[in-house]
Structure 1
Amino acid sequence: MTFGKQLAATLFALSTLSAVADDRGLYLGGGVTRVETDEHSLGDDDSYKAYVGYRFNPYLAVEGAWVDLGSFDNGQRDFDGHSVQAAAHFGVPVGDRLRLFASAGAHAWDADGDSAGDDSDLDLTYGVGAELDLFRNLGVRVEQEVLKVGDLELDQTTASAYFRF
């Protein structure tokens, strides 16, 4: 009787490992980004994000991204910047196709203008998002991130598509 329970537990564990194995690997993505401060929206039509990552399982992924933070010039203040990001994604699958995640990491930014100063630095970033697998290797993502750039705190909202290899 004990052997039967151990066999059943082993078969169950192996069956869940195959599901996890299907949800890992390299992915590439990109999309449009809206970056805002409390006072301004940066680059309504020219901001974008491109990213590459590796998903270890449904719960953990690492990702690198390049983001055009956009620009604004209202006559009194101006800003133009971009960011290179590295983050860990901690996810929770909801059903077979939806994955909710939180991200935390760092970003190296470079900005020109008097709002952030002509400067570059390294700061923390964090956010939340959701991914929906449309097909086996193709999906869409929506995410909200917070970035600090000099004296500015930026809210970055991204809608993107990704391809998993």
Structure 2
Amino acid sequence: MRKIYISLLATLMMSSYAVAGKPVEASAQIADVTYLDPIPGSTEEVDSDDNGGFYLGASYSTLGIDIEGLDYIYLNDYGDSSSVMGQAGYKFNPYISIEGRYWSGENSFDAWGLYAKPSIPLGDLFSMYGIIGYGNAGIDMSEVDGEGHYNILDESTLQWGLGLSVSFSENFALFADYVEIYNDQLDIVDWSLDTINIGATVTF
């Protein structure tokens, strides 16, 4: 009877050891899976190129002159006039740039401005932007009878504008914008000068 008891006890111990051995083996396998190294190249890298840099541009511009008052009323006869504009700037990223512009045109008109230029990309091709800053506008005009010249406008003020650009590559774009150069009262005359500009920029 004692031999039978010992045999049964030995059998139970061997069975328990065999059963107990499987969880240990499974745990080792789970541990192996848990600590596997990641597969090389399985993560994607984010492209951080912001297409920034220095840029130069030029445009053909039309200058609108609107004057209300008794003095210099004859200037309204000139209507819109033509000018050219050059610009240089630095693009920090697709959303912000700084820019300088200079205009020179008919009727001895010239103007300049320094601007902040926030932009909103509209897909891969188009971008809408605004400009706001400080600048100067000047007109040196002949008198009505043609005797001599004198400055009838030489004022500095806040300037602003809105525009749209179309990018054909990372380096070349066309643009069209509106800029209010001067809008204020001088003596008893209300002046309003604005430009519409159509041109191109090259980024380096």
Do they superpose with TM above 0.5? yes
Q: Deviations over 1:97-141 (max 9, x none)?
A: 211001101112222137x95342211110100111112211101
The answer for unaligned runs of 5 or more in structure 2 is 1-42, 67-75, 144-149
Higher Rg: 2
Checking the alignment, whether the CA contact within 8 Å between 1:28 and 1:52 is kept in structure 2 is yes
Residue matched to 1:97? 125
Asked if 1:15 is matched to 2:50, the reply is: no
Residue matched to 2:23? none
Structure with greater proportional helix content: 2
Asked if 1:52 is matched to 2:88, the reply is: yes
Q: Scaled by the length of structure 1, what TM-score is found?
A: 0.75
Say what the alpha-carbon RMSD is for the aligned residues: 2.3
In structure 2, distance between residues paired with 1:87 and 1:139: 19
1:145-164 matches, cutoff 5 A: 145-148=179-182, 151-164=190-203
In structure 1, distance between residues paired with 2:105 and 2:80: 7
Q: Scaled by the length of structure 2, what TM-score is found?
A: 0.62
1:34-53 matches, cutoff 5 A: 34-38=62-66, 39=76, 41-44=79-82, 47-53=83-89
Checking the alignment, whether the CA contact within 8 Å between 2:135 and 2:159 is kept in structure 1 is yes
The answer for unaligned runs of 5 or more in structure 1 is 1-10, 72-79
Task: Return the match for 1:112 from 125, 130, 140.
Answer: 140
**Aligned-residue offset at 1:19:** 3.6
Residue matched to 2:58? 30
**Counterpart residue identity of residue 191, structure 2:** L
In structure 1, distance between residues paired with 2:159 and 2:106: 17
Q: How much identity, in percent, do the aligned residues show?
A: 21
Checking the alignment, whether the CA contact within 8 Å between 1:42 and 1:69 is kept in structure 2 is no
SS at match of 1:15: coil
